[in-house]
Structure formats: structure tokens, C-alpha cells
Copies of this chain bind each other. A is one copy, B any other.
Amino acid sequence: MRDDDIANTMRALGHPVRLNILRILATQQRGECCCADVTEELTLAQSTVSQHIKVLLDAGLIERKPRGTRNCYIVQHDRLAALGTAFTGLVVGLGPAAAPQREAEQA
């Protein structure tokens, strides 16, 4: 993962609403979670939510899964793990301390 990628993914996570969306997606994942579900938990317009979702999508942090008339989204844990790894590498490279370290992922 090179700097541009890391920066991109970081930026995708660099908005509270998107962190929230990720969380909503994760917690409701048992039942599959579509755009409408997310929207109704966030006081934002559907188009805005859709746009945030697109950002997460482009960053590879979630995946679209068409389900009949609706689109469900699932968190890409391996992508998150990859970022964790990259971050670790970065921080390790940065010096004496503070190296988060991932340790497990994708089924």
C-alpha cells in the first residue's frame, strides 16, 4: 500500500458521518443493511448518505451487493486490516514507539 492509497483511505475515514455509517453497516450486518436503513439513522438527506457511501465504496472499505430492488453494503474487514497494517508500518517507520499492530482478519 503506497502513500497515495493510505492517504486516500485515511481521508475516507476522516469524516464522522462516514465512521458512523461504517458502524451502522457493521452492527446491522446480521440482517443486511441498505442505504435507506443507514439514512433513517442519520439526519441527512438520502443523496448525501449515498454520496458518503460512494466515498467508502471508492476507498474499498465497503462493498455493494445488489439485493433485488435495493443495494446492501457490507464492511470490507480485510481492507480495514490492510489499512491497519499500513498504519503500523508507517508508525514503525516513524520511530521509536507507538506501533499498532494488526493480528487477524478475513474469514
Contacts and interface: CB of A to CB of B under 8 A. Distances in A.
A45 interface: no
Specify the main secondary structure of chain A where it touches its partner: helix
Interface in A64-102: 75, 77-78, 80-81, 84-85, 87-88, 90-91, 93-102
Contact of A97 (B77, B90, B95): B77
Contact of A4 (B4, B16, B106): B16
Count of chain copies: 2
A56 to B, nearest CB: 12
A16 B7 contact: yes
Given A77-B94, A95-B29, A10 B13 contact: yes
Nearest to A100: B84
Contacts of A26: 93-95
Interface of A: 3-4, 6-8, 10-16, 18-20, 22-23, 26, 29, 75, 77-78, 80-81, 84-85, 87-88, 90-91, 93-107
